[in-house]
Amino acid sequence: MDGLIVVDVQNDFCSGGALPVPDGDAVITPINRLMGQIPFTVATRDWHPPDHRSFAAQGGPWPVHCVQGSAGAQLHPELHAREIDAVVDVGQGRDDEGYSGFEGSELERLLREQNVDTVHVGGLALDYCVRATALDAARLGFRVILHRDATRAIEARPGDEERTLQELRQAGVEILA
Ligand SMILES: [Zn+2]
């Protein structure tokens, strides 16, 4: 059984958002296509309190983004919402990093309940939340397939994208061009 994890395709990570991933909107069309092909989809959301420790005002690396209930935290409106079977929220505690969709969430249980053994992954951003989610899925024993066309990287440091792909390959993640 195949399942799809759509990682953090939220307004704040797309164009016009608080923390836009370069070319991030380009993931939407391939993800909509995948959702039409894969029977079970879970979307994750970065879902932070206003004083989350990843925010610059708290000494963290990022601008304020994906504050719980804000417009920026909503899933992008062009995602085919009817294809999304469940939504899980991460990073909800002030000190929860929340990069991985599995961190303190129901994600693993939801996948196991559907007898998912092969997890497809796409979303934002490749070098942060997609990376952490795919690595956790591999550690949990799922076959993991990253769809390269359905993800984009931030590249805060040049080479992050390539390093991430290499790390994922070494962890057993299959990467589909
Ligand atoms: Zn965040």
Distance CA 166, CA 171 (A): 9
Chunk the chain into consecutive blocks of 10 residues (it has 177) and report each block's average pLDDT, rounded to whole numbers. Answer: 98 98 98 98 98 95 97 98 98 94 97 98 98 98 98 96 98 96
Q: How far is the CA of 157 from the centre of ligand 1 (A)?
A: 18
Looking at residue 6, what is its pLDDT? 98
State which residues have CB under 5 angstroms from ligand 1, the bound ion.
46
Looking at residue 177, what is its pLDDT? 85
Q: How far is the CA of 119 from the centre of ligand 1 (A)?
A: 22
DSSP string, 87-139: EEEE--STT----STTTTSSHHHHHHHTT--EEEEEEE-IIIIIHHHHHHHHH
Q: Containing H/E element for 144?
A: strand 143-152
Q: How far is the CA of 129 from the centre of ligand 1 (A)?
A: 9
**Amino acid, single-letter form, for residue 61:** P
Q: How far is the CA of 65 from the centre of ligand 1 (A)?
A: 6
Task: Decide if 29 contacts 9 (C-beta within 8 A).
Answer: no
Task: Decide if 10 contacts 129 (C-beta within 8 A).
Answer: no
Cis peptide before 73 (omega within 30 of 0): no
Distance CA 13, CA 24 (A): 7
Looking at residue 162, what is its pLDDT? 97
Q: How far is the CA of 48 from the centre of ligand 1 (A)?
A: 7
